[in-house]
Amino acid sequence: MYQSLFREKVDLLKESGEYRVFRRIDRRCGEYPTCYMGGDKPGQGVVWCSNDYLNMSQHPDVLDAMFAALRTHGAGSGGSRNIGGTHGFFDELEESLAEWHGKESALVFPTGFSSNDATLQCLLRIIPNCHVFSDASNHASIINGIRGTKATCHVFAHNDVSDLEAKLSAIPLDTPKIVVFESVYSMDGDIAPISEIVDLAEQHNALTYLDEVHAVGMYGPRGSGLAAKLGIDHRIDIIQGTMAKAVGIIGGYIASRETITDAVRSYCTGFIFTTALRPAVVAGCSASISHLKRSATERSELARKTSLLRDCLARSAIPVMACSETHILPVPVRDAKKCTLAANYLADEHGIYIQPINSPTVPQGTERFRVNVTPCHTYEHIEALSKALADTFEVFEITRSRGRPSREEAISA
């Protein structure tokens, strides 16, 4: 009975084209974006969808710091932060993160997912009768954290300040509230109206919780995020980020007032009962962030290459969703089976790796390729990608109309 149930659920994904296959990708240190790809036609390829946005995972300063920590501290952390896992590298990293965001303190988690999930569960359990207001396009880690509590959740339309205002206005001023949103949305590449949301939150006596995962390292002064770029980071109560994207390694964190981070540290089960990041990882994160604080080279080159990629895709009549304002360029396919087949074709015939983005990551009918360039991609790489996409769109008869297949359209379809 159980095996047939599991088999049936997996078969449904295969029939719809939403079944996920992990293609082997062996990146080559010092040769990024080159990789070795497995599959039907294994061989050398080029990665076009990595979250290692600035190639910091292979930066010499990062590698040196990790090797040094490995030699001095060994491979593992030895336990949770509370039981033997708080090594000296954590002090350096958490102080650096707090300073980066202009906050009193920071707290590091093993992953970005866990920092959202565990922190939100903790906050919504500590604050009595709390109402949470969550953007409709928020990441699964945010949704999971909210659903893990009994807090009343109000989902407001994506980036819709009017809808948020209407929902906030319906709740008494003295009722505890948290507004949770992201600065950059990873599947659409769009930016939240951060200032307007913060204004509303302050007017309605609500805490603000901002996920800057896809912005830290890449935007703002010293790469400290979009809230800092707007000069309002001091008005955000809790900033959440990751070391798995622009920083190039792994780990998540929150930065806030000391009272908030101390409460999370003391009550958050997802933090208390998990093994701490190993010393080499934390040392590497510190080295990467230190470099990004003092170097704008990677950010400037990312911006330049993104502009080149946009222009090249436009010349090849490859659509990019109109909502994209950032380094994330979503290319609409709008069909799960075609998206998967086209991704395999790109890999096998053109040596280009782009992971198909299907449901449940995005709503059905809005399937896409999520493309992003990095400082290490060359103009030749960009031209090759454009030509390969043009060929692929023709082979699979993918519509080239420009525009955003919105979540609202998908729901109403």
What pLDDT does 38 receive?
A: 84
| Cα 389-393-394 angle, rounded to 5 deg | 120
Structure tokens at 144: 């999971």
Residue 134 to residue 28: CA distance in whole angstroms: 39
Asked if the model's pLDDT at residue 406 lies above 50, the reply is: no
Tens digit of pLDDT for each residue in 268-286?
A: 999 999 999 999 999 999 9
Residue 253 and residue 97 in contact, taking contact as beta carbons nearer than 8 Å: yes
245 belongs to the catalytic site:
yes
Question: pLDDT category, 404, cuts 50, 70, 90?
Answer: very low
400-409 mean pLDDT: 49
**Poorest-pLDDT segment among 18-32, 132-146, 276-290:** 18-32
Q: In what order do the strands lie in the sheet with 329-332?
A: 329-332, 368-371, 356-357
Residue located via tokens 């290490």: 376
Q: What are phi and psi of 238, to 5 degrees?
A: -135, 120
What pLDDT does 402 receive?
A: 52
Residue located via tokens 């609500």: 206
Question: pLDDT category, 410, cuts 50, 70, 90?
Answer: very low
What pLDDT does 147 receive?
A: 96
Asked if the model's pLDDT at residue 31 lies above 50, the reply is: yes
298-327 mean pLDDT: 96
Residue 183 and residue 211 in contact, taking contact as beta carbons nearer than 8 Å: yes
Catalytic residue chosen out of the listed positions 103, 245, 305, 338 = 245
Residue located via tokens 């935007």: 219
What pLDDT does 16 receive?
A: 87
Tens digit of pLDDT for each residue in 215-244?
A: 999 999 999 999 999 999 999 999 999 999
What pLDDT does 1 receive?
A: 87
What pLDDT does 401 receive?
A: 61
**Poorest-pLDDT segment among 191-200, 224-233, 377-386, 404-413:** 404-413
| Cα 234-98-327 angle, rounded to 5 deg | 75
Q: How many residues does the chain have?
A: 413
Question: pLDDT category, 40, cuts 50, 70, 90?
Answer: confident
Question: pLDDT category, 325, cuts 50, 70, 90?
Answer: very high
Residue 184 to residue 215: CA distance in whole angstroms: 6
Whether the bond between 42 and the residue before it is cis, its omega within 30 degrees of 0, is no
Asked if the model's pLDDT at residue 179 lies above 70, the reply is: yes
355-370 mean pLDDT: 92
3-state class (DSSP) for residue 302? helix
What pLDDT does 43 receive?
A: 87
Q: How many CB atoms lie within 10 A of CB 157?
A: 16
Helix (H) or strand (E) holding 339, with range, is helix 336-350
- Give me the residues paired with residue 275 across strands: 80
On average, the pLDDT of the chain sits at 94
Asked if the model's pLDDT at residue 408 lies above 60, the reply is: no
Residues 6+ apart with CB under 8 A from 336: 16, 17, 18, 356, 358, 359, 364, 367
Asked if the model's pLDDT at residue 42 lies above 90, the reply is: no
